[in-house]
Each structure stands twice: as C-alpha cells, then as structure tokens.
Structure 1
Amino acid sequence: MDYESEFAFYRAVQEGDLDTVKRRLTPLGSRHMGTLSQNPVRNLRYHFIISVAMITRFCIENGLSPEYAYTLSDLYIQKADLTDTAEGIQQLHCDMTFDYTRQMRELVKEHTYSRQVVLTLDYIYTHLQEPLTVAAIADAIQLNPNYLSILFKKETGVPVSAYIRKKRIKMAENLLKYSDFSATDISNYLCFSSHSHFIKIFKSETGYTPREYRNRFFRHNWN
C-alpha cells in the first residue's frame, strides 16, 4: 500500500466510512512493512501496535474523545499481547479497525472536545510517569493555567487533577494485570507521593487494594 492509499485508509477510519475501510483494509505485513522481529507472530504484534497508534491519532484528530480512544487502544494492545497466533492477530486487527470506524461513524460532532482540551488530554496521557501540574501542562500547550482549569472542567466534567488520578489508576490496573511490577514499583513509576497514598487512592477508585486486585485479575487468570 503506497503512502496515498494508506492515508486514504486512515482517513476512511477517521470519517467512519466503514465500506471504504472494508475495501481498503489489507492484512498486516502486506504494506511493504519492515521486519521488526524475526519471530513472525511478534513481528505482526509490533505492526499491530503501530496500526492501533495511527488509527487512535487519526480518530482523536477528528473528534473522538482522547480518553475513550486511548482506553480502546490499551484494550486492543492487551488483547494482542495475549494472542499467540498470526491468524489471531490478523483477526484482532480487523476487529480493532472496524471498532474504531464504527465509533467514528456514531460520533456526534457537537459533543467533541476543543483543540485545547484534546492537547491537554494527549499531554497527560504521554506524561503520566512524570510529575504533572496544571501549570506545567498549561505551559506546555501555551495556555493560561486558570483558563485551562476552567475549560477542562467545563468540557470533561472533572478537574484536571481528578482526571490525572483516574488515568494513573487505570494504568496501574493494567500494570497489575499484565506485568510483574510490584505495587511499590508501580507507585513510584506513576509518581504517587507515597506507597500508602497509592494504596488509598487505588482502593477508593477500584474497591480493591493493589494486592487484592492483582490476586483477582492477574493475566494468568485470563489464559
């Protein structure tokens, strides 16, 4: 698939044009892609992750909620991680592409976020492992901090700090389910002020302590 055809494919996903997406969708590995791993399944998995990232970006650009788009992305990447056949990853790629396309088709334009809030959400998502403040975010996207706080709360319904907390807890859930990192390591990685603070916030958001959550949901229970 040449550059123009590939761009047209992503544009079709972005616009919710399911017929065009079905017509243009090609199997992973058939677009003159490079070899990222000598293991065929791992190579497809890497290209799947690239495809998810591209589609997520295109959909956000056209108004899909970044929070929802990234959550969907996380879900499909986790599924790919648990899929150990080439056929399974190819099918997952189709499912993922059609899912995003249907979401875009149903998108109500007037309920989308402003560009400033999209930039804020994107910045938060990509800097969860760093200390985050409204002032730092506002500086990065060149907005007044007070204006950003008011605009963010108006459009999302939650303060910036609450949104950051929820995203960090969501990432902590994924790490507890799909990695071997200890709760202490996760707490440090996601910049919680202390391990005890992490436990308190995690339980308030999920109803479980980190230990209880891992014992219940660790990925070996999904095999």
Structure 2
Amino acid sequence: MNKSSRPDNPPYYVSSRMQYLRDNFIHPPFDYEHELLEAIRFGDEHRAMEMLHRINELEAAVLATYPLRSKKNALIASCTLFTRAIIKGGVDPEVAFHLSDTVILEIEKIGDVERLIHFEYEMLVQFVAMIRSEKAELPYSHIVNLAIRYIREHIFEELTLQKIADVLKVHPSYLSDRFKRETGSPLTTFINQRKIEESKHLLIHTNQSISEIAFTFKFCNQSYYTQLFKNFTGMTPRKFRISGAERG
C-alpha cells in the first residue's frame, strides 16, 4: 500500500494503544501470567493466589465500555487461560471444558463488580481443586505416562510416533508396542481421538469453520477430519455442532 492510499485516521488498535500509553497503562508482565498459570498447572494454590493478587494490584485493562462488562470479560479471559493450564497439567479436556462452561455461566449471573472481584479468587480455587483431584498418576508405566502428557500439552501440533519417541528418547517401535499393550489403543489412534475430543469444544463454543478447526488441530484436510470425527462419534462435525446448538 502506498502512502497516498493509507487511511487518514490511525487504525483502532493504534489509537487505543496511544490512549493506554497516555494513561500510563500497561498489561501485567508476561512472566506474572506465566507463573500464575504454572502454579495452577502444578496445583500450587498458595503460589497461584499470590500471583493473582500481585497481578490484581496492577491497573486493569478496560475491556468494555461499562465496568461490569469489562470485569466479566477479564474473568472469562482468565477462565480460558486457567482451563488450558489444567489441561496441560493432565486434566481430561472434556472435564476441563465442562468446568470452564460452568464458571462462565456463573460469571454472567453476577451483577456487581465487587462480587466479581471475589469470585475471581473462588474461580482460581476451583481450577486448582480440579487439577489436584484429576492429576492422579495415570495407571501406566512411566514412559507411557510421559507420552500421554506430551500429547495433551501439544495437542494443537502435528504429532507422530517418531516425534514423540524422539522427545522421549526411545525407539519408536518400543514406544508403539508399549503404548498399545498398556492402553489397548495404538498411539496414533489415541492422538486422533484426543484431537477429536478437544475439537468438540470449538465446534460448540466458537464460530470457527470446520475447515479452520481441522487446520487448528493439524489434520491434513477437512475431509480427513470429518472422516475421523464420524468414526469416533458416529456423526459428522456439522451434525455435532447443530446438535450442540439445539441442546444449548
């Protein structure tokens, strides 16, 4: 785009950023957020509370015109991050997303900012409690447990037997045989099943197209994703989305 074709007014992001700078506002340091999420991931309630309190001592971003809506939006964003943290920590995605949905519905019911401030800490306790109750050691050998945790933590990446074996520093054939013997499922089937399970949440709770969801989970194309989804669930992603909307 040449200079003459550029718009006279700066984009919304630029003007918003300028306003934030004029108001001396900055978002909480990334390392604060990272430490908070790691504390949740490992079920360290004391450390998580400490980091949340430290973050809340800073000035909050304005995420909507009205303070109540702004605080609700902030808590919903935090809920999303907390959900991802406990999934990385070992909680089954369906369990984690169910907790997330329940918490968000509760956030929407609250009618004053002061109650939302207290609820944020209650929400944190719920997620830490979930990770503590669900993070029991998987009933498999150490190497299979490590493989399952790696799959959960890298579910949006392209996952192969060779890649996971390289990360765990074992021979692919050894990992494949051990995984199938202990879990009853081939490793590749387990990966696809986990991806399909997590994709259900996007189908129901987002407006992403089916092709975009297939791309998000690194399936080679929409047709392959649809075929796998039907194999595991008995229906196509489109029908699942419609049935989820009807239930909602």
TM-score range, shorter chain: 0.5 to 0.7
Distance, in Å, in 1 between the alignment partners of 2:206 and 2:184 is 32
CA radius of gyration, larger in: 2
CA displacement 1:187-216 (0-9 Å, x = unmatched):
222222332222222112112211111111
Aligned to 1:75: 98
Unaligned runs of 5+ residues in structure 1 are 1-5, 15-20, 61-65
Residue 199 of structure 2 is aligned to residue 176 of structure 1: no
Aligned to 2:187: 160
CA contact (8 A) 1:28 1:90 kept: no
Unaligned runs of 5+ residues in structure 2 are 1-35, 63-69, 111-115
Q: TM-score, normalised by structure 2?
A: 0.61
Alignment map for 1:96-111 (pairs within 5 Å): 96-103=127-134, 107=136
CA contact (8 A) 2:93 2:197 kept: no
Residue 74 of structure 2 is aligned to residue 43 of structure 1: yes
Give the direction of change, closer, same or farther, for the CA distance of 1:141–1:37 in structure 2 (3 Å limit).
farther
Distance, in Å, in 1 between the alignment partners of 2:41 and 2:97 is 22
Aligned to 2:55: 33
Secondary structure (helix, strand or coil) at the match of 1:172 reads: helix
Give the direction of change, closer, same or farther, for the CA distance of 1:126–1:40 in structure 2 (3 Å limit).
same
Q: TM-score, normalised by structure 1?
A: 0.67
Provide the alpha-carbon RMSD of the alignment.
3.6
Letter in 2 for 1:32: R
Aligned to 1:192: 219
CA contact (8 A) 2:156 2:216 kept: yes
134-143 or 90-99: which moved more? 90-99
CA contact (8 A) 2:93 2:198 kept: no
Q: CA deviation at 1:150?
A: 1.8
Secondary structure (helix, strand or coil) at the match of 2:54 reads: coil
Larger RCO of the pair (alpha carbons < 8 Å, separation 6+):
1
> How many matched pairs?
194
Q: CA deviation at 1:70?
A: 4.0
Aligned to 1:114: 141
Give the direction of change, closer, same or farther, for the CA distance of 1:41–1:114 in structure 2 (3 Å limit).
farther
Distance, in Å, in 2 between the alignment partners of 1:41 and 1:117 is 40
Distance, in Å, in 1 between the alignment partners of 2:99 and 2:205 is 13
